[in-house]
Amino acid sequence: MTDTAARTYTSHVIVRWSDMDIFKHVNHARMLTLLEEARVDWLYSAGPEITNIFEPSVVAGAELRYRTPLKHSDSPLAITMWIEKLRAVDVTIRYEVRSAHAAPDSRPAVTATTQLAFADPEAGTLRRLTADQRAVLAS
């Protein structure tokens, strides 16, 4: 686990049979979907104040590092996440993904980040966070 454990959220996401590739590992593209499911769970569980800040936001980037393969039998995956970086128009979320059978402080099977940019869909531009929104997310 990270030294940011006090500010983390762990979501348990079920691996579906359709998430597997021909080698019986979780498929790369499907891992992005599983991370999204965990992130949505986290944001909605945080309450409307947080959810409203992230609506709307768009994925501006994602990076995944695979340490060990994950299989269907590792389900549900324990996906721990936290805000790693908070900037004026975007946020970076860090993930650690472990098998359901792994200890919480074990080496993660997958590490990842997602950069979410805050959007203004009517203007077609990014929007800056207010000071109050930044304070809420920083806490």
Tens of pLDDT, residue by residue over 33-69, are: 999 999 999 999 998 988 889 988 999 999 999 999 9
pLDDT, mean of residues 1-7 = 54
Q: What is the 3-state secondary structure (H, E, C) of 25-42?
A: CECHHHHHHHHHHHHHHH
> CB within 8 A of 120, min separation 6: which ones?
126, 127
Give the whole-angstrom CA distance, residue 32 versus residue 124. 25
- Compute φ and ψ for 135, nearest 5 degrees: -65, -40
Q: Is 103 exposed, middle or buried (0-12, 13-18, 19+ CB in 10 A)?
A: exposed
Min mean pLDDT across 3-17, 27-41, 96-110 is at: 3-17
pLDDT of residue 2: 42
Hey, CA dihedral for 111, 7, 59, 13, is it positive or negative? positive
Q: Between 43 and 5, where is the model more confident?
A: 43
